[in-house]
Structure 1
C-alpha cells in the first residue's frame, strides 16, 4: 500500500488579505482603547474599565486576524510542531494579557471592586508580557521552508 501523495497548494491570497484586514481592524480598535485621546474620546484622566476592555477586544481581533493570515501561508499543509506551539502561545499570551489587564475586575489587582478599576504599572507590565508571548507565537506560526536548490548550468 503506497502512501497518499501530499499535495501542496499555493497560499490563498484572499485568506491572507482577509487576515491582514482583520488584523488592521484589530489594531484600530486596540489604538482607540489604548490612546482614546488621539481621537478626542477620552473622558477620564485614568485608564478605566471600558478603555481596558476596548484594547483587549482589539488585541483579540489582532490575534484572530494574525492567525487567519499566517494559517493561510501554510497553503493546506499540516502545521509543524513549532507552528502548533506558536498557536498555543498566541492563545496563552492573550489569556495573560486579559488577566493582567482585568486584574482589578477579577479581584486580583491593587484596586479590587468596589473601588474604581485602575490600570497601573504592574498591569501594564503583565499586558506587555502577554503581547510578547503573542509575538513569539506568531513568529513560530510562520511557515519556514528550506530554500529550493538552484540548478546551475555548466
Structure 2
C-alpha cells in the first residue's frame, strides 16, 4: 500500500476558507496508517506536494452558489474531468493566491504530477472575510471528515484490485 495524502487547503484566518485545514487536522488526529496530512494555504504548492503520491484527498472551501455547509465530492485525478473553475477558483484568496484549486489541478495534469486518484471534498462557504468559520460550515465539519474517510477507503479498495 502506497502513501496517500490528505491536503487541507485554505487560510486559517479567512472565515470558511479555514475548513480545509480544520478537516485535515481532524483526519490527522485519527492517526491513519499510510496517510500523510498536509496543510497548505497556496494552491500552487499542490503540484509539488502530491508529486509521486498514490492518491490524494484535497479539502477546500468552495463558492458554487449552493447552501453554506453543503459538502461536494468530486474525482479529479489523471483522466478525470476538470474541476469547474467558477466554484474552485481562488475562493477566499487574493493577491498572489488568486490561483485556485481548479488551476492547480490542471497545472499538475499538464506537468504530469497529478496523482492517478485525487478526490476533492469541497465545503460550500458562507464567508471568506477575516475571522472565524461560519456556524453553517462549522456544523458540517463532521460530514466533510466522513467524506474524506470514505474517499481514503475507496483508494484502499482500488489498490487491492
TM normalised by structure 1 equals 0.27
Could you say which structure has the higher strand fraction? 2
Could you say which structure has the higher helix fraction? 1
The structure, 1 or 2, with the larger RCO (C-alpha pairs under 8 Å, 6+ apart) is 2
- Largest Rg, 1 or 2: 1
TM normalised by structure 2 equals 0.27
